[in-house]
A and B are shown apart, each in its own frame.
Chain A
């Protein structure tokens, strides 16, 4: 076998199995960093031996055996106390016996995800941690997505993993009574990865764009592992609906196109159909939640593809439900925008005015852009211009900036 074939086989195994192998090793050693190191050594060993000996019949099991040996060596070398080392050895051997009998590695990625999104982990680090531990992304890639210097991201990841090990964060499924809150944290972390990648619509950064797919992949893994959790289905539906419109967000010249002006023919029909099917499955489980409602809003927008119009009244009532559930000012802004479509710009603006005191909105670009748009529609050019200026000060994406600048420039002073 050639070097490239071995490389390809190792890469394929890495892509398919990385998270599963890390999860399995970390659950035994309770040490994510050690599991990752052991696995990367195992991949190096695979590249060294597979070209000569051929790819083993069960590459996953081969990698696991190599990584397991490495993990035990590392524990010995770290002068881990004799009993701790024995305990690790025993735990690894026991688990290996279960694995070898079936020939495949049991999927414990869910446990790994729950550990990464544990309440004892800084919420801002849950998403990066999951991307690294479950998907094997490097710190530089994750740093690019979360707009952080690579060295800082690297340090924080190291610290978070040390915390998992030292604090004794468990690699198991939460107790039934804790499950809803803990699952929510996992969903939030996956959605944060998606959202971070999503704000780069021009795909200026290839790494960020790739993360949209990685987040979708995490969402799919979770729907396989927890097929009867409606919010899990809701999250994947939400991400699919958003990604269906990825291409339609830009015109031929790279200009920004807002949702209302997008050509539905450019939306991805397969992604929409998959999202709709997921949402239907979720609704049959009869437990409503934030992600299902958000996906339902996107579904209402997607319906324009079939019907040619947008049911704003339905969207307002979905936002009412979301607002009751989350009390989020961001939801309130979206609701006000939808309200302007059913009850007029003045009603929408009044709803926005009512939020003016929410501190989170002072730096929230969509609030200022929405405000500017409604003021412009009401002919209040002066205040609209000021609101556009605030929105522009908060926007980094060049295409979105050009869009806002054009709207601002189009404002006409009332004559008089």
Chain B
């Protein structure tokens, strides 16, 4: 029980950080149209950056900003850490979230360059359990179209996506596997992992 109380306090502290940054007056419950609008914005922002013709490092910085603005990075980071999040301190969780955000924007931002000349189509949105699922189709040059779903949930007055699922493959689950392997290789040393994530790529 003691560890449960600690976990709650630690997490609530992280959540509060998001609340402070939230836009006031938007604390309505999320509906399907709003979920769809959020992903419309995400897709048009990504498309804008891709077609801007900027340098790679510039594009990666912009992707990180998009990720920061539209994705629930606190939830993604904690879910990726899984059981390891329970034993982490609040400072470690905060540092990991920041380092992970940079790592993920760079890792997937590099792939987004393949989207040049392609487009993402937002098809539909529906309520699933306690969140909304926005279905999109990516049409890339020389590849069969494939589905990307965004899972959207209201968080502290903001609508954010907390997972991205490509043909059923969840970014969170892929990265849980990946970060888990990285932690194992560092004998569970989270601080070492954080500093490595900061310095890669």
A and B bind: no
Q: Please report B residues at the A interface, Cβ cutoff 8 Å.
A: none
Q: Please report A residues at the B interface, Cβ cutoff 8 Å.
A: none
